[in-house]
Amino acid sequence: MPRRSPTTLPELSAMGLALDLDLELPPPSGTDEDDPPSGVNLSPGALEGVPRLAISRDRLMNLSLDHRAGFVLSFVDGVFSVEMILDACGMDQQDVLTILADLARRRIIVLA
């Protein structure tokens, strides 16, 4: 059976990828991969963090991003906080946090 890529915050956290956003996730509820992911707990102050681009716009244009990451990235302006991005983009909170964690892991954004 082919191994699937991690897509939930607990899976990303287990790989150390969600740490760039100061995410605190509960321990996995079970060992079965088919278990539903547990809830997301943000550390105090994480939602007030303001992501900003860590690369030039020219370099950004050459990256391979899917449409969802590009959409979330369009809100990263150095002014919007994580909380404001969650409110403004209208996507599932866990999806947005996963995308932001991935962008931070890839060093496309940093959280100030």
> 36-74: per-residue pLDDT in tens?
333 445 566 778 899 999 999 899 999 999 999 999 999
Q: Which residues pair with 24 in a beta bridge?
A: 41
Alpha-carbon span 54 to 34, nearest angstrom? 35
Within a domain: 42: no
Within a domain: 93: yes
Within a domain: 66: yes
85 lies in which domain range?
A: 9-28+47-111
Within a domain: 16: yes
Q: How many domains does the chain have?
A: 1
> 17-26: buried (b, 16+ CB within 10 Å) or exposed (e) per residue?
bbebbebebe
Alpha-carbon span 13 to 46, nearest angstrom? 15
Within a domain: 33: no
Specify the higher pLDDT residue, 99 or 16.
99
Specify the higher pLDDT residue, 4 or 88.
88
Within a domain: 34: no
Would you say the pTM of this structure is higher than 0.85? no
Answer whether residue 21 shows pLDDT above 70: no
Within a domain: 105: yes
